[in-house]
Structure 1
């Protein structure tokens, strides 16, 4: 516990989710259920209530942690509609998207450089390519086998009639059903695979990687506008009666948060004598975007934010999360570390230590669930507790003031593209 002058009694939390087509209410329900579980494990009290707003979606939290009462308001950047629109692709369009995205990452050399750091997220990126190609192969082969079987049956019937004109006609006619069945079954199977994507995630991940790749790393205009509006909402929080303004960026939401915060500081909208500003990036995949040739805005914002004294930036990942660039300093690996860089503090959530062996065994192969573990309860937590960070009495700055960075962090420049925007 910090002394009374730095203790948090009121906090504003701004959550920026990753590429997710589901309405943010899922994050409220996740917070409600997982905070209750963590409260039982860690011995504190926490209560979550829904909150409605015309501008954002969120909830309120009242907690008693370490004997201190804390009130927090959580607002979520809503861009699930933009995600859904980007996913509204036909099956042929998705396969064309696969070709385009693979070409962008391979032709620019980005894929090879990403593999220098962590194989896990690269494998995750290749998964939808392999799965979609496997689905196409399976559909074509099964369609051909059934179509060929139908042709064979008709030819057999023709043979029973003898060797006359009827048999010859049937032989020619048999080609039609073969190709009609082949095409029909292939299409039907591809549609079936797409309907099962809530379990396979091939289409979802393909659209995810294509979303940033199609603009070679530049932020799409529709999302840029949404980020500006959310930035305005964050700026308003500094004039309120709060002790800390905490911005949380999860997954691809981490690089969106970098740009939102960089804009706020550059525009002078973060008062030096106001509430503490903190940035918590979780399970980030920043290199997937910052390594692309046109991601100059993001690279500029990374370099800028890494030197700022107006905020505390803690980056939390875990080697057990195969969907993130675990312990990779997003500024360092992008190759834009400027003089005076002191952010982010790169630490590990250490899933294998903060989860009991039984719990880790149950989650180990559930890759997408593990990618959300940062927002969930740990049954034997170490120094990372999402709910104490968002609803506890200690600022992010004080909580990790004496925490050294992970010894396993990777901060060697790996990106081919390091250009930034002119100052």
Structure 2
């Protein structure tokens, strides 16, 4: 039997020069990096080579499998209720996981949600939930199982699930290698397949605030991840959704939790409610649960009950006041008219500048940093009224954040229109919030 020997510089050069990584090379580099035999700077170089040169479907599949194999794979087949999960590829103002998980749990499924932290200009579910005083995502496998059995939901750090991805995920965030289709697909699917859900729904973002900017790229990513899921025996569907403008009226950790609570109380922005309900219906269909209306759980309080039970089980104080930045600055309307465009990427970068995201692995985030959006596209605007309010604990960050917003929005002369909830921006090119559904 042939004995393969590898070293990091050789593997890096293969991909740098446009070559294909063999299965054995992928297995070696993932295992070696997980156990510290490949240094961060070497993996950074390989990630940049992958970013620039890409990977074929075979390489992506092997990279995903190697990351799954770097840790354990959970099994909830004996739970007594179907398990289903959702993953978003990342967006600005995307707080959907927070209301979605309790909605689906209230309908009878169990949701083992291994969630992540902020990546690049997008926020992370764990950073958002940890803005609730006392809440912890670091829970044991036994507690995950107990919560799934008793509450139907657990939102937790991946821990020993795909530990290779945890290290690579943090490195991508600070090395400019986030926006890579192979790395996004393998990162998402390694964690999701390892967490043991029976089925999976993917929310694949399209537009300026997404990691992949074009619809063609996002479709390819969705198809790749669906294929990876099916290859591992997990029924998987993807929904393409718009991310040209932010979701909802808030961007930032605690601000987004507060808005999620509005949704769970039966209110909240139309687009957040629409996407929550649509994804819940997709999840329930894959889980084989019929006859339950996810929208009803938002109105009858059962989703809120499940959310409070989840937060309490994970140490959070459901009655505590959420933090908000001690310093604020408003952006006034330069003129009257109608709110036009809001650039999701610029908004995400501004919130990152305010302190809601990281510039180095493991760096703490400001839970109270963020932006409140007072006027969404299509709404009437009066000259001088606040369009955005910026929050931070470090006021020296405000000028850089304001710089990101320069040219990132418009006030137009078009008279206010009653836009359907599914249209996300002003004419002339309104795009549906939900663009398409991709299965096999």
Per the normalisation by structure 1, the TM-score is 0.27
Report which of the two has the higher share of helix: 1
Bigger Rg over Cα:
1
Higher relative contact order (CA 8 A, sep 6+): 1
